Amino acid sequence: MKGKTLLENIASISSTEFYTPVPKGYKAGMTKYLVITGSVMSGIGKGMLTSSLCKLFANRGMNVEPMKLEAYLNVDAGTLNPFRHGEVFVLDDGTETDMDLGSYERFLDKNLGRENFITSGLIYKTIVEKERKGAYLGRDVQFIPHVTGEIKRFVRELAVKKKPDIVVIEIGGTVGDYENMFALEAMRELMYEESSHNVCFLNATYIIEPPSLGEHKSKAAQLGIRRLLSLGIQPNIIVCRSHTPIPKAIKEKISLNSNVPVERVIGVEDIDKIYELPLALRKKELDEKILEVLRVEKKFRPNNKELIEWTKKNRVSKKAPSVKIALAGKYTNVKDAYISILKALEHCEGVLNTRIETCWIDTAKLEREPRKIASLKNYDGIIVPGGFGKRGIEGKIAVADYCRKKNIPYLGLCLGFQVAVIAFARSVCKLKGANSTEIEPKCKHAVIDLLPEQRQISGLGATMRLGGHDVELMPGTIAHRIHGKQSFIRRRFRHRYELNPEYIEILSKHGMVFSGKAPDKRVMQILELPQHKFYMACQYHPEFTSRPLKPDPLFLHFIKAARRKHVR
């Protein structure tokens, strides 16, 4: 064993209390790791901090792979209620994930996969399946070393598969949660096996500022960091989130109580626009300090000119025109439920130099007070987002119908496509009783229905059309033109109900144009009304692939039309 690394020694012992499965081709030190934890409270922007650091590392020319380690026992995020956990983000390979994966993709401008997202449920499922197959050779399976060992295996498999320079691991929740203790222990073991210069720990804490006192208080942050220390993890860097800039005295208190040099205690106060954050962190040299810990700061140099230009292009001038856009949905009390849509709208702001004011319409309330539908005339454009279930559906149908009648720019996403079809079938095609079988299984005209191959599926987590699929664009249509006259585009789906092919002819006869479809199938995926100022809907989720400086064409042209709403 002489001359071997600790990891090689552990892997070579046949009878041991260790359990550290090492993927083929993996060597300690081949990849650097940044582990980001949170303390005091959730919701302080740990996901945006992670995304911004990924952006900074990529700006240095590093191959970056982010990973989210979630504590909950769900195998994936597919069955989570948006009221409880925000948006379910869908990756190209069909993995249903936490919304932070969407943030990582947007800042890195790259597609991620199932290996970038781990839940405790997935870990436990893997362990139980292995145990039933006898993979643990008769050992009693325990949290340590088996749960922690499997977590490290997932992390190292990502390193082997993608060969990144750095893996940035965000631990969900906060230090002290029972749920994530084994994830934290796994990261402690990772540092033990890889050595301290290959793993950097960053703790994002919160410095409270009680209005009644008018000053910052650090005691809660001190206690949160001490909890991390009690788990055997010595943070290398502390990021102090706060509403306003923190004074030097607060940094010194944090430094003294955490064993972290004061120059590595970084204050990060609130900013107006999230796309300013990477440059703000660069100015504080946060990425430099991380790479110093990992001993590669001289190997990867920043491209400040490129970062400044990226930041500048995402800005909107003070004199920019504004538009008022309404989201008509049923999760209006939880803005994170539509976070990717909000981000897709932000992507249009910088490109079009237009300020977008987002408003909210609760379609369930609209059903109870139908007279308020007239208030839609106050908006420059309406978006009907995706969703599941019956609540608020008639309100969404009414919104789609009103926008068509009053020539208000309309963008329907997923369910927004379906309600546009239902509204058109009822109002224009005079198909009384037109509906979706998801809402009314025995409706007279099932214009929206399960396709035959979907009817045998059981379980909420077994959605048929999920993840990235090609969409064929019809020449001569608006969709074809605004997508640069491409024959095919690739977009992400998450649904089970489709336009019933039996109704394509009558809808088309009355003026609805289906400008995008599944290749070689009569599965319609984009609709448009050419005579309208802008009336388009798609069965997929264009918000999932929209990126800063690269807004999805449907969003971009929707906002362009909204700007022209009052022009005669």
DSSP string covering 155-206, please? HHHHHHHH--SEEEEEEPS-TT-STTHHHHHHHHHHHHHH-TTTEEEEEEEE
Residue 322's alpha-carbon distances to 319, 381, 385, 554, 562, in angstroms, are 9, 12, 22, 18, 10
Paired tokens of 395: 């309100």
414/495 Cα distance (integer angstroms) = 7
**Residue 543 annotated in active site:** yes
Amino acid identity for residue 326 in this structure? A
Residue 78's alpha-carbon distances to 86, 343, 468, in angstroms, are 11, 21, 16
CB 395, CB 363: distance < 8 Å: yes
List, for the chain, all residue ranges whose pLDDT scores fall below the cut of 70: 1-4, 8-16, 83, 452-464, 565-568
| Among the listed residues 118, 15, 19, the one whose alpha carbon sits nearest the alpha carbon of residue 7 | 19
Cα dihedral across residues 297, 299, 304, 306: positive or negative: negative
Spans of all domains in the chain: 24-313, 322-563
Residue 271's alpha-carbon distances to 150, 275, 331, 397, in angstroms, are 38, 9, 26, 38
pLDDT of residue 566: 46
- The C-alpha torsion from 530 through 484 and 486 to 327, rounded to 10°, is -60
Domains 24-313 and 322-563 share a fold: yes
Model confidence, pTM: 0.93
**Residue 414 annotated in active site:** yes
pLDDT of residue 567: 46
CB 105, CB 117: distance < 8 Å: no
Paired tokens of 98: 């936490």
Catalytic residue, chosen from 146, 469, 483, 541, is 541
267/472 Cα distance (integer angstroms) = 49
SS3 358: strand
CB 46, CB 170: distance < 8 Å: yes
- C-alpha triplet 322, 325, 328: angle, nearest 5°: 170
Run of H or E including 450: strand 445-450
- Helix axis angle, 181-194 relative to 148-162, nearest 10°? 60
pLDDT of residue 487: 97
pLDDT of residue 464: 66
CB 93, CB 200: distance < 8 Å: no
**Residue 252 annotated in active site:** no
- Using the CB atoms, write b or e for 222-257: b if 16+ within 10 Å: bebbebbeeeebebbbbbbbbeeebeeebbebbbeb
CB 93, CB 101: distance < 8 Å: no
- Helix axis angle, 339-352 relative to 553-563, nearest 10°? 60
| Among the listed residues 312, 273, 340, 313, the one whose alpha carbon sits nearest the alpha carbon of residue 106 | 340
Catalytic residue, chosen from 240, 414, 429, 538, is 414
Query: Checking phi first, is residue 241 left (phi over 0); if not, alpha (psi -120 to 50) or beta?
Result: beta
144/17 Cα distance (integer angstroms) = 9
Paired tokens of 359: 């408003």
R_g over Cα of the chain: 26
Q: Which fold has domain 24-313?
A: Rossmann fold (3.40.50)
291/285 Cα distance (integer angstroms) = 10
268/124 Cα distance (integer angstroms) = 36
CB 1, CB 12: distance < 8 Å: yes
Cis peptide before 145 (omega within 30 of 0): yes
72/90 Cα distance (integer angstroms) = 18
423/429 Cα distance (integer angstroms) = 9
Catalytic residue, chosen from 65, 185, 543, 557, is 543
146/29 Cα distance (integer angstroms) = 22
Spell out the CATH class of 322-563: alpha beta
Give the HSE-up count for residue 444: Cα atoms under 13 Å, Cβ half-sphere: 7
82/199 Cα distance (integer angstroms) = 34
Amino acid identity for residue 482 in this structure? I
pLDDT of residue 463: 47
